[in-house]
Chains A and B, each alone.
Chain A
Amino acid sequence: MSAEQIDCEVKVKIITTRFGEIEIDEKKIITFLMGIPGFRELKRFIMIDHKDPIKWLQAVDDPDVAFIVINPFIVFPSYSVDIKDDEELFLGIKGPADVLVLTILCVANNIITANLRCPIVINITNYHAAQILMDDERYDFHTPMPGLPQKSTT
């Protein structure tokens, strides 16, 4: 057995409303150091794949709370996120390669919108994350989603 194999995973069981009881690798838990606005007490989340490119961001400590998220650059190719220096420092981000950006989707009045004003920024090297509120007024809290790109089967 190699040394890598001894480095065993710690599995954590969590209860969720939408996915039942699931078991996850503790290392994959994303920590929102300040919670998520509106859910300040919820700091631990995990990502669950839905159907590409949609994912769920499920709270570890509240079975009911889950957000639908998407990589915004797939749907909005000209989108850009400005992460301020103090936010980078806070999350321990050292360069663009450390960063995963997600956008929360909302369905209201039968329209899916994306909150491009407040991206979720995850440092994929330490799994620390924050939802940031950008000053950039080009981006709206409710940006209508164009059609999702269909996955090509070819």
Chain B
Amino acid sequence: MLVLTRKTGQIINIGDDIRIKIVDVGNGMVKLGIEAPRELPIFREELYEKLKQLNKESAKMDMDRLKHFLGEQ
């Protein structure tokens, strides 16, 4: 992993299309401003992982179980 040191207000470019600005630092937190092409979704990793996991669980639902829950049996 590439590790860079930056000051508040400074920017990192990834290629020509992605800019990450250090907006604010303090209290153990970093506030980032990100500019990227809109086809690149940007997520907080822990939330995105949670969503992927939940989708995998949700996609397993079988017909009998759904009918049971809806009181169709």
Contacts and interface: CB of A to CB of B under 8 A. Distances in A.
A123 interface: no
A106 B66 contact: no
A115 B54 contact: yes
What class of interface size applies to chain A in its complex with B? 20 to 34
A90 B38 contact: yes
Contacts of B17: none
A54 B70 contact: yes
Nearest to B40: A34
B55 to A, nearest CB: 4
A50 interface: yes
Contacts of A79: none
A96 interface: no
Given A68-B61, A107-B61, A107-B66, A90 B56 contact: no
Interface in A31-73: 33-34, 36-39, 50-51, 54, 64-68
A149 to B, nearest CB: 12
B59 A67 contact: yes
Interface string A105-137: 111100010010110000000000001010000
Interface of B: 38-39, 41, 43, 47-48, 50-59, 61-63, 65-66, 69-70, 72
Interface of A: 18, 33-34, 36-39, 50-51, 54, 64-68, 86-87, 89-90, 104-108, 112, 115, 117-118, 131, 133, 141-142, 148
- 8 closest A-B pairs (Cβ-Cβ)? A38-B52, A38-B55, A106-B58, A86-B38, A37-B52, A65-B59, A38-B56, A37-B51
